[in-house]
Amino acid sequence: MSLTPQQIQAICRLTDKVTGIQWDSSKDYLIESRIVARLAEFGCTSLDALIAKIDAGDVVAKNAFIDAVTTRETLFFRDESPYIALEHKALPEIIDAKTSSYFPKRLRLWSAAASTGQEAYSLAICLLEMLPDIWNWDVQILATDISDAALATASRGIYSDFETGRGMRPDLLNKYFQKVSNGWQVKDEVRSLVTFQKRNLLQPFDGLGPFDVLFCRYVAIYFDLPVRRELFERLSRTMTADGCLFVGASENLSDFGAKWAPQFHCRAVYYQPNKARTTFSLQPQSPAAVLAPAGPKLSAVPAPVSKMARILAPMK
C-alpha cells in the first residue's frame, strides 16, 4: 500500500499525541512495517479506519498502536558506566547523606521508560551486590513504561540466552536467575524489589517520589526539545535533594540551566538537579586565598593565581 502524504502526517500527529514520539515523513518505512503491515491486528482494514478508531477513544486499539510505535531496545547494565557510577559514587553519597535523616535505610529508585525490565533488574542486582544487609533496608524500585507489551515481558522476568547474553555477567546470571525451559527467570529476591506500573511520561507524575535515583534513559531522545525540557523539569520535582538522575549516553541536559550541571564519575555523567551546591571562588589578590561562596558555577574567567590558591586548587 502506498501512503499518501496526508496519511503519513495523520499517523505522525497521532504518534505525537499519544506518546510524544516524533515521527516525520522520513519514517514512512516504520509506518509501513509497524502499522500498515499489521492493520489486521488492530482489527482494521485501512489506516484511516485505525486513526478514526483511536480518535474515537478505543483503548484496545490505542494500546496496540502504542506497542507498535514504541522502540523497546534495551539490555542489562546498558553502557555499564552508569551502574559503576551508581555503585561507587552516587549511592554511597546518597546513603551517607541519609544517615542523619528520619529514614536512613530507605531507598527509592525509578526506572522511567523501563521497557522490558532489563534496566530495573540491573538496578536491583546492583543494590543486592552493594548492600549485603539489603533485607534490613526499605528498598523499592519502580519501573514504568507506556507499552503494555513491554510491561508484560518485564513482569514475567524471563529472558532468552540472547537477551541475558547482552550485558549480564555470567556470575550474576548464575546468582540471580534460574534456568527455565524457555530461558532464564529472574529470581524472586530480585523480582521482589521491583514494582511495574504503566505510566505515560507526558502525563503528570502525581503521587510519585521522592526518588533517590532516577534512570530516564534513551526515551527523551524520541521527544522534541520543549517536551524534553519540560519532562526533565517535572522529573526533577519527583527527586530528593540529593537525588541522582541518569540519562542515556547521547543525552545532555547541561543546556537546560545551571541546576543541570553534570556530575562526572569515570565515563559516566549524572545530574543532581535539586542539590544545593556551595561552590567556592578563590580571591587571588588576598595574601591568603579566601574561600567565599560563589554562584552556581565557578567563574570561567582565568585570573592570576597566587601560590596559596594553587595549593588549594582541586587536583584535575
Which spans of this chain sit near ligand SAM (rule: CB under 6 A)?
A: 19-21, 70-74, 78, 113, 115, 119, 145-147, 150, 199-202, 217-219
Nearest residue to 308 (alpha-carbon basis) of 281, 277, 287, 278: 287
Cα separation, 197 vs 147, whole angstroms: 10
Closest CB to ligand SAM among residues 7, 147? 147
Name residue, grid cell 540491573.
122
Q: Which is closer to ligand SAM, CB of 166 or CB of 265? A: 166
Smaller CB separation from ligand SAM, 64 or 282: 64
270: enclosing H helix or E strand: strand 268-271
Other beta carbons less than 10 A from residue 80's beta carbon? 14
Give min distance, CB of 218 to ligand SAM, in A. 4
The count of other CB atoms within 10 Å of the CB of residue 310 is 11
Whichever of 269 and 282 has its CB closer to ligand SAM, that residue is 269
Q: For ligand SAM, give the closer residue by CB, 139 or 150.
A: 150
The distance of closest approach from Cβ of residue 175 to ligand SAM in the complex, given in angstroms and rounded to an integer, is 22
Three cell numbers, residue 132: 549485603
Residue with Cβ nearer ligand SAM (115 or 236): 115
The span from the CA of 76 to the CA of 122, in Å, is 6
Q: Please report how close the Cβ of residue 25 comes to ligand SAM at its closest, in angstroms.
A: 20
CB of 264 to ligand SAM, least distance (A): 20
The three-state DSSP-derived secondary structure of 132-184 is: CCHHHCEEEEEEEECCHHHHHHHHHCEECHHHHHCCCCHHHHHHHEEEECCEE
The secondary structure of 8-50 as a DSSP string is HHHHHHHHHHHH-----GGGHHHIIIIIGGGGGGGT-SSHHHH
Alpha carbons within 13 angstroms on the beta-carbon side of residue 6 total 3
Provide the minimum distance between the beta carbon of 119 and ligand SAM in the complex, in angstroms, as a whole number: 5
Q: Which residues contact 272 (CB under 8 A, 6 or more apart)?
A: 242, 243, 244, 245, 263
Give me the least distance between CB of 122 and ligand SAM, in Å please.
9
Between residues 70 and 289, which has the closer beta carbon with respect to ligand SAM?
70
Report the residue number, 115 or 240, with the smaller CB distance to ligand SAM: 115
Q: If DSSP codes are grouped into helix, strand and coil, which group holds residue 279?
A: coil
Q: Tell me the closest approach of the beta carbon of residue 31 to ligand SAM, in angstroms.
A: 17
Q: Minimum Å distance from CB 173 to ligand SAM?
A: 18
**194: which DSSP letter?**
E
